[in-house]
A and B are shown apart, each in its own frame.
Chain A
Amino acid sequence: MASNRNRGSQKSGARRAENNRIYAHPLPLAFSNPEPGSTFGYVLGLLGFSLTKIENPHCEGVFDPATRSVWITNERDSSILWRRGFFGKGDLSRSEPSWLARQISARKAAGKYMTAEEIREKRRAERKQFKMDRAAAIAKAAAEAEAAFAEGRQAAPAVIPSGATWKPQQLGETAELPEEAPDDKDEDDELEPLKDVEHLQLTLQEAFFLVWNLDCLTVLDPQTSEPLSLQQIWKAFQNVHCVPPELPVYTNRFDNPFLVNYAAYHYYRSLGWVVKGGIKFCVDLLLYKRGPVFHHAEFGVVVIPVYEDSRDQESSPFNLPNANTFSWSWLSTINRVNSQVQKTLILTYVTIPSSSRVSTDLLSSPACLAHYSVRDVVLRRLIPARMRD
């Protein structure tokens, strides 16, 4: 027992060390120090210089207005952007673009052993079976109690399966694993080599963060495949929210969804959080310390845009989500969902500068972002009956 546990923790320790190595860089720009002990470096350091080298990966992606994302199709680039800061999401995966690896391992397993996905599916099937068994046992016990009550006798004690005692039946054993193919070798040869059809998709906020601040991403025009200039990107990322484009109502708007979302995204990114989407938990963003491979998300963030001038809201063509205060019942709903998964709910208010205070000329460049402000409110339930001491 003890040795078993030791082996387990050793394995997890090894995995942690491996993760620390793979995900060593929190941002795509990597800093490398030459020899730390050199006197030359030390002297330069005293003088305010350093020998640190910056490695800029110069990734490349294609802007896709239809999906409001930037596609990284190059395998090297998508792996760098995922490993250094957990940017983007594989379009065929839940997070890390792992489609190809999963396919390869499934082929390699080919019925000889179970892949991680198959084990998960088996576990889910077992869990479902357990719940059905339990429900049946409960119904049976209730019927028995009912009959006993009608006859006026004591009901026989019933055995209800619990998670600890229930064992999976043999029913799945044979069906789960496909029967071993005798001509395994030949089939392997017949299979055509796998081609990676997956791409990493970056949200526009992520892409702009990488382009604008770190200058480590080149965004290509989907039609011409020419690199877009920063000015073109700035325009294009806002225009995806303007349908049909070129309407006068969309011009000179401080409440373009891209700007509001970017302000919130940049705020948490600049504080060192890894920011991912949170639609699963009724929230806009999830905040991870270091990244999803290290910890669960600690916080669920609801982005709430606040107009400085309510007239701007009345004239808005965008209908921003959460711009109108939501009801108490919705707040309870979100908070229930998030406390259920051990996350703390954060309401993040992003103020939208009023067009009367700030000149709309600033919208032509990211300079306007300086006039948005972000503040966060932590929300938790208080249960007076449990807080008495």
Chain B
Amino acid sequence: MDDNLELPTSAPKPGADAVKEEEEQSSGDEDQGPDWTKIPGLSTARPVIPKRGEKDFEPTTHGGSGLQRHVLDRSRSAMLEALKATRTISNKSVSHAIWYPQLKRAHVTVARGIHFTTMGHSVARPSATSESVKKIQRRLELLPEEALYLVERGAMYCWSPTDLPLPKSELLDDLEGIPMSVQQAYTEMIGTEDLTFERYQVYAYLKRLGYVVTRTTPPSPDYPTPSSAGSTQAFGSVLNRLYRSISSFLSRLVPVFVGGRDWWRPITIGRWLHHNMDNTSLFKSLRFLSSGYDVPLHIQQTPSAPASPYRLVYHLYKPSTPFKKTAPPPPDFQVVVVNARTTPMPTISELTGLFGELPELPPPVPRKRVSFAQQKLAASAPTQTPAPQTSLTPASSQASLASRVWVWVWPWSQADDKAKAPRPTNPFPSLKTGKKMVVVAVVDAGTISFFRFGQGVFTEWPMS
């Protein structure tokens, strides 16, 4: 791996290979900056965000070298050129909106493009077309982060309403107010409707990746909220609740009986009774100390403590999740946004509070077992197109022959295979995901780290 990174960049690479390699290396690691030299046609109207390239500059003990400086300068000027390009959008595809600071909403007057399939919501507002008749009309409105995102993207033109008489313009059909610059939009929109700068940065980052991001707490009754848990989940939760109530009843009952537990000898190993006569039951009887999330937390809160910054802010839907704006499905993730410099890690009380609000995750789907040989075959299949079918058959027959011989040499391996057949559920996916999960986006001056905090299920998956 590090072989690749330490190669000097001087040797020119053949074009096709270089592109392929670059794609391999940029397999989704989002931390690096773009390679500005690779931007095609800088003077064209549409700057595109390119993929990252290789590191151009590595300090050496002898100081910067001529070659490295040359490469660095080339990249730097490419970046400046790319940034210099004027970002333009066709008059026919730009949307228009009016920002109402009192309402903290942007009213979309002209909606174009696909953005509005996942953004904005419809609100009934009294329209003030004529003085006497107040008509209730539904209109499309954007939250500040949505409006700001579209403005920054260059997909929407935003106006400030004004009472001043507007001059007639030849370029635009009708002026709707004073045009708003991107800077102005930032100043006016951030800070309204609970939108902090960090939250906007997280919102915009996730939107750029194609996620659908909505608010967890509806800012107004008109805001669509996801349907609560589906029917299959409800059935599970009924069982769960039943189980929980029985187990909590039993756990309350147990102290009545074991009130006289000899704390100097917690485990009595029965000589004759079946009780704990094997390892499983011995381990079971070792679990007499309290653990898990059903035990009450006795943490005393200081009454003057400020409200916790750990509140769910955004619902997150993967790009592949079918999303309907008017009836959003249950979200894939729920996100909390905090500032890394001012907010410490969550305490267990804060995490317990968050877990209390979250739905239980469905059990992780067991991964399909693919043998290493099959994986390799699958990986190489697209490159070696000529007749993989024929080359496959002898390999498999060979394998079966080998396995037959194997069984003969090593008879109990077959017994092992038979025991494997009704494979018990692998506890590790569950242990590594947890029962409930919250995503914490930690923003450190624009750099966002996402952490998943999962509610551990170790008590439910004992190893023996």
Q: Which residues of A contact B (CB under 8 A)?
A: 2, 6, 10, 13, 17, 25-27, 29, 31, 45, 48-50, 52, 54, 134-135, 138, 141-142, 144-146, 148-150, 154-155, 157-158, 160, 162-163, 212-215, 230-231, 263, 266-273, 289-290, 298-299, 304, 306-310, 325-329, 331-332, 335, 344, 346, 349, 351, 353-354, 357, 365-367, 369-389
Interface string of B88-102 (1 = CB under 8 A from A): 000000000000000
Query: What would 17 more interface pairs be, CB under 8 Å, given A290-B463, A370-B263?
Result: A25-B279, A27-B279, A141-B11, A142-B60, A149-B70, A272-B463, A306-B299, A310-B302, A344-B431, A373-B291, A374-B289, A374-B290, A377-B453, A380-B432, A383-B450, A384-B205, A384-B211
Contacts of B340 in A (CB 8 A): 328-329
**Given contacts A48-B273, A375-B295, A379-B452, A384 and B348 within 8 Å (CB-CB):** no
Q: Are A267 and B274 in contact, CB atoms less than 8 angstroms apart? A: no
Q: Could you tell me the distance between the alpha carbons of A351 and B289 in the complex, rounded to whole angstroms?
A: 12
Q: Are A354 and B298 in contact, CB atoms less than 8 angstroms apart? A: yes
Contacts of A375 in B (CB 8 A): 291-293, 295, 348, 352, 456
Question: Does B224 belong to the interface (CB within 8 Å)?
Answer: no
B110-118, B166-174, B280-288: which lies at the interface: B280-288
**Given contacts A230-B264, A373-B295, A382-B452, A141 and B283 within 8 Å (CB-CB):** no
Q: Could you tell me the distance between the alpha carbons of A365 and B320 in the complex, rounded to whole angstroms?
A: 57
Q: In the complex, what's the smallest C-beta–C-beta distance from A264 to chain B, in angstroms?
A: 10
Q: Are B289 and A372 in contact, CB atoms less than 8 angstroms apart? A: yes
Of all chain A residues, the one with the shortest Cβ separation from B341 is: A328
Interface string of B296-332 (1 = CB under 8 A from A): 0111101000000000000000111000000000000
Interface string of B246-280 (1 = CB under 8 A from A): 00000000000000000111110101111001110
**Given contacts A214-B267, A325-B345, A381-B449, A271 and B458 within 8 Å (CB-CB):** yes
**Given contacts A6-B406, A134-B6, A346 and B206 within 8 Å (CB-CB):** no
Question: Does B419 belong to the interface (CB within 8 Å)?
Answer: no
Question: Does B190 belong to the interface (CB within 8 Å)?
Answer: no
Which of A31, A142, A383, A387 is within 8 Å of B10, CB to CB? A142
Of all chain B residues, the one with the shortest Cβ separation from A209 is: B286
Q: Are A380 and B282 in contact, CB atoms less than 8 angstroms apart? A: no
Q: In the complex, what's the smallest C-beta–C-beta distance from B168 to chain A, in angstroms?
A: 46
Of all chain B residues, the one with the shortest Cβ separation from A231 is: B264
Which of A31, A160, A231, A376 is within 8 Å of B7, CB to CB? A160
Q: Are B449 and A332 in contact, CB atoms less than 8 angstroms apart? A: yes
Question: Does B122 belong to the interface (CB within 8 Å)?
Answer: no
**Given contacts A50-B274, A385-B209, A163 and B320 within 8 Å (CB-CB):** no
Q: Are A213 and B266 in contact, CB atoms less than 8 angstroms apart? A: yes
Contacts of B431 in A (CB 8 A): 298-299, 344, 378
Question: Does B445 belong to the interface (CB within 8 Å)?
Answer: no
Q: Could you tell me the distance between the alpha carbons of A25 and B279 in the complex, rounded to whole angstroms?
A: 8
Which of B211, B345, B464 is within 8 Å of A388, CB to CB? B211
Q: Could you tell me the distance between the alpha carbons of A344 and B209 in the complex, rounded to whole angstroms?
A: 26
Which of B209, B291, B320, B352 is within 8 Å of A374, CB to CB? B291
Q: Are B28 and A385 in contact, CB atoms less than 8 angstroms apart? A: yes
Q: Could you tell me the distance between the alpha carbons of A220 and B450 in the complex, rounded to whole angstroms?
A: 51
Of all chain A residues, the one with the shortest Cβ separation from B320 is: A389
**Given contacts A270-B283, A354-B298, A374-B289, A289 and B410 within 8 Å (CB-CB):** no
**Given contacts A357-B298, A384-B211, A378 and B289 within 8 Å (CB-CB):** no
Q: Are A327 and B348 in contact, CB atoms less than 8 angstroms apart? A: no
Of all chain B residues, the one with the shortest Cβ separation from A366 is: B263
Contacts of B163 in A (CB 8 A): none
Contacts of B227 in A (CB 8 A): none
Q: Are B453 and A379 in contact, CB atoms less than 8 angstroms apart? A: yes
Of all chain B residues, the one with the shortest Cβ separation from A268 is: B458
**Given contacts A377-B455, A388-B211, A149 and B66 within 8 Å (CB-CB):** yes
Give 29 A-B contacts (CB < 8 Å), ordered by A residue: A27-B282, A31-B277, A50-B272, A141-B10, A149-B70, A155-B10, A212-B266, A213-B266, A215-B267, A230-B264, A263-B289, A266-B289, A269-B286, A270-B287, A308-B297, A310-B300, A328-B442, A370-B289, A370-B290, A374-B291, A374-B292, A377-B453, A378-B434, A378-B453, A378-B456, A379-B452, A380-B454, A381-B452, A385-B30
Contacts of B124 in A (CB 8 A): none
Q: Could you tell me the distance between the alpha carbons of A145 and B352 in the complex, rounded to whole angstroms?
A: 58
